[in-house]
Each structure stands twice: as structure tokens, then as C-alpha cells.
Amino acid sequence: MSPMWREGNRFTLLPEAARFLPDMLAALESAEHYILVELYLMESGTLADRLSQALVDACSRGVAVYLLLDGFGAMKLSREDQARLMQGGVALAFFNPLGLHSLTRNLSRDHRKIVVVDGQVAYTGGFGAVDEFLAAWYEIAVRVQGPAVADWEALFRRLWRSRFTHHAKSSPRPVLAPRRAPPFFDDGAPGRVMPARGYRYQAIRRSLHGRVRGAQTRLWLCTPYFVPTFSLRRKLARAAGRGVDVRLLLPGHKHDHPGVRYAGQRFYQALLKAGVRIFEFQPTFIHAKFVLVDDWVSIGSCNFDHWNLHYNLEANQEIRSPGMAGEVQALFERNFAESHEVDARAWAARPWTQRVREWLYGFLDAVVTRLK
């Protein structure tokens, strides 16, 4: 069954950490009943300290606080920091810690980013509690108010009770606080929380592919790890062939996994030939994941590459709103202006060293893909 569209929501685009981090921390500081936080990455450092302090302070006010981290993504969160959280009253759990079980299970990760406060407001995006998000990585988030908050909360609650979630032995309060109903805004916009659960449930992929097939005027996609499936590449090329303005906003040379960039670059020539425009962001590593198709927007954790879609838990906020579409369009345009547009002729004449890197990392990507 496809997730439901909910009417009556308010969405606030929060580009860059300088906007979304203060907004989220202020929401945590105003919490009165409960806080739910689900993250893939949390590593000991300045940002983790700020988040931990906000959660412990909330506990001291009598707020019930629950922190769910991925068992792999949180491996660099020190035992001392974990103890500090639990001693401060935070209920701590880990999804699917690495163990002596199947390789496929170890590869299955919780890549979602969810913050819910009192059932009234939620946040999602591509953020984590690691110091790179303070300045080194470009990221965005969206604040959600309205009925869609209940769907974000439901995702958290379901995974908190999952048999794959391990609650820390010293963790207090493993039982979740009662839900609180979110508000409904008469002037709000429709929104849908779109999850994915590995190869068994790929609603995010189906939703994106459907939007790509039906695109009328524009199809702009930002993703940090561009290793698309053949099906998505074909749909992007066909959309450009129909006259749709198809643009990709991708990382430039500043990348946390350069090999992934090279593996994706092997598709540039065919896409450029089909009429797809490709922009490589220059100022820093762009870690954001957002899509604009006509007046439809999707923002969240999903990178839209075959690895994420096959193995990970993901979730995006979909929005149908001309106003939000206009804001996202402006965000894209600002980022395009700070990017290098790949020229088709220059790319066709690229040096052999670049071609070797594409071949090598493309081969490795193909091997990994076949192992799935």
C-alpha cells in the first residue's frame, strides 16, 4: 500500500547548517513532553556534544527523550559519551549492530534522519551529528508541522520496537511516551512521508521514477552519490528527449568518497549526449539530497543510488506546493551558480587518466552490485 498524502501541513525549507541546526536545537529546548531522534551518523565531537547537552537538558526538565542510532554509523560515538547520555536520562538504542550474522544483514543500515518534538514538529534531511556538518559539508533540512508529523513519528516508533533494535543495557525508559496529535493547518500544503526498507520495499524509488516519467517542464536532482540504476538513467535521458529541463547537481572534486564520484562519472557522456545538464558543486562537499519535478519536491535521506535503495532504511518528505517548489528552485539556482557545468565537448575529450579512474571504480561498483 502506498503511503498517504496528508493535507494541512506547513513546511519550512532550512538550507545550510547555519539555519537548520539552531532551529532544531531551539525545538529541543522548547520540548515539554517527548523527543524522538533517529540518526545514521553520530560521532564524538563538537556537534555531538551540543546535541547530547540539549537532550540531557530536556531530560532534566522532565521530558522523555529517545535516541535511536545506527549500529554502524554510531561506532565513533565514544562509550563515555554514550554513558553521559544515559546517565542524563536519555533512552539509547542501536539499530542492527554489526555481528557474526549474514553479510546482507550487516550491510542493512538505518540511514534515516528523523527528529520529532512533542508530536508537533518534525525535521528530516541528510544531516547527522558529526562535525563535518558544521562547515565542511553542505546540507539542507525541512521542518514539518501538521499531520505528516504523525507519519514521521510512526516510523520511529516502529523501528524502536523492532527486533533488530538493541537497547543499551544501562538505558532508562525503554517504553515510549504516549503519542500527541499534531495540528492541522487550513492554509497548509499536502505532504507524504515516503519510506524505503531495502530491496523489499522501495516506495521511494517507485515514486521518483513515476515523477520522472510524468515530468512536464523541469526535473532537477541533487544527490551526493550519483551511481544511478540503468532504469533511472534511461528515464532521465527520455525526459530530456521530451524537452524537459533535466539537471543534476552533484559534488565536485571535494568528496568524502572520490571513488563513488568516478564510478558515477562514467555515465556523464551518455547523459550529456541525451541533453541532461550536469553541474558539479565547487565550494564544498554537497551532501544534500533533494529533488524538484515541476511543483513536486522530495527532501530527505535517500541518495537515489542502487546501494542505498537495496540495503538501507530511508525516508523522504514529499511536498506538493508551488510555494515550496519556488523556494527549492531558488535554492537550486543559487547552487548552480556556484557550480561548474560539465561541457559535453570538453568531457568527450577528457584525458585518459580520468577514463581509467571511471573504468576502475565503475568495475568495482559493478562487482559490488552483483554481490547483492
**Same domain assignment for residues 132 and 203:** no
Domain that holds residue 304: 190-370
- Residue 179 within any structural domain of the chain: no
With vertex at residue 76, the alpha carbon angle to CA 75 and CA 79, rounded to the nearest 5 degrees, is 85
pTM of the model: 0.95
Instruction: Looking at the structure, tell me whether residues 148 and 202 fall in a common domain.
Output: no
**Structural domain ending residue among the three candidates 167, 182, 208:** 167
In sequence order, the 6+-apart residues with CB closer than 8 A to the CB of 343 are: none
Report if residue 172 sits inside a domain: no
Alpha-carbon distance 132 to 114, whole Å?
19
Asked whether residue 363 falls in the same domain as residue 297, the answer is: yes
Burial 337-356 (b: 16+ CB within 10 A, else e): eebeebebeebeeeeeeeee
Judge contact between 248 and 225, C-beta under 8 A: no
Q: Which residues contact 165 (CB under 8 A, 6 or more apart)?
A: 68, 93, 94, 95, 96, 159
Rounded to whole angstroms, how far apart are CA atoms 176 and 1? 26
For the CA atoms of 333, 337, 342, 344, the dihedral, rounded to the nearest 10 degrees, stands at 70
Residue 181 located in a structural domain: no
> Could you tell me if 140 and 201 lie in one domain?
no
Given a contact cutoff of 8 angstroms between Cβ atoms, the answer to whether 71 and 38 are in contact is no
Q: 128-160: per-residue pLDDT in tens?
A: 999 999 988 999 999 999 999 999 999 999 999
Cα–Cα dist 47/133, whole Å: 8
Residue 254 domain-assigned (yes or no): yes
How many CB atoms are closer than 10 A to CB 76?
Answer: 13
The residue from 167, 200, 232 where one domain ends is 167
Question: How many structural domains compose the chain?
Answer: 2
β-pairing, 218-222 vs 245-251, is parallel
Q: Is 177 within a domain? A: no
**What is the CATH number for 151?**
3.30.870.10
Q: 205 and 149 in one domain?
A: no
- CA distance linking residue 308 with residue 243, whole number of Å: 29
Coarse DSSP helix, strand, coil percentages of the chain, rounded to the nearest 5 percent: 40, 25, 35
Q: What is the pLDDT of residues 188-197, one digit of tens each?
A: 999 999 998 7
Buried b / exposed e across 180-213, counting CB within 10 Å, b at 16+?
bebeeeeebbbbbbbbbbbeeebbbbebbbebbe
Same domain, 25 and 99: yes
- Phi and psi torsions of 44, nearest 5°: -55, 135
- Verify that 115 and 213 share a domain, yes or no: no
Q: One-letter amino acid identity for 168? A: A
Q: Are residues 253 and 125 in the same domain?
A: no
- Could you tell me if 298 and 211 lie in one domain? yes
What number of other Cβ atoms are within 10 A of residue 80's Cβ? 8
Q: Mark whether 203 and 311 lie in a shared domain.
A: yes
Which residue in this structure is represented by grid cell 551518523?
41
What pLDDT does residue 218 have? Answer: 98
100 by Cβ neighbours in 10 Å (0-12 / 13-18 / 19+) ranks as: exposed
Please give the backbone phi and psi of residue 352, each rounded to the nearest 5 degrees, phi first: -65, -30
Q: Is residue 174 part of a domain?
A: no
Q: Are 363 and 215 within one domain?
A: yes
CA distance linking residue 271 with residue 278, whole number of Å: 9
Same domain, 34 and 97: yes
Can you give the pLDDT at residue 103?
A: 59
Please list the ranges in the chain whose pLDDT falls under 50: 372
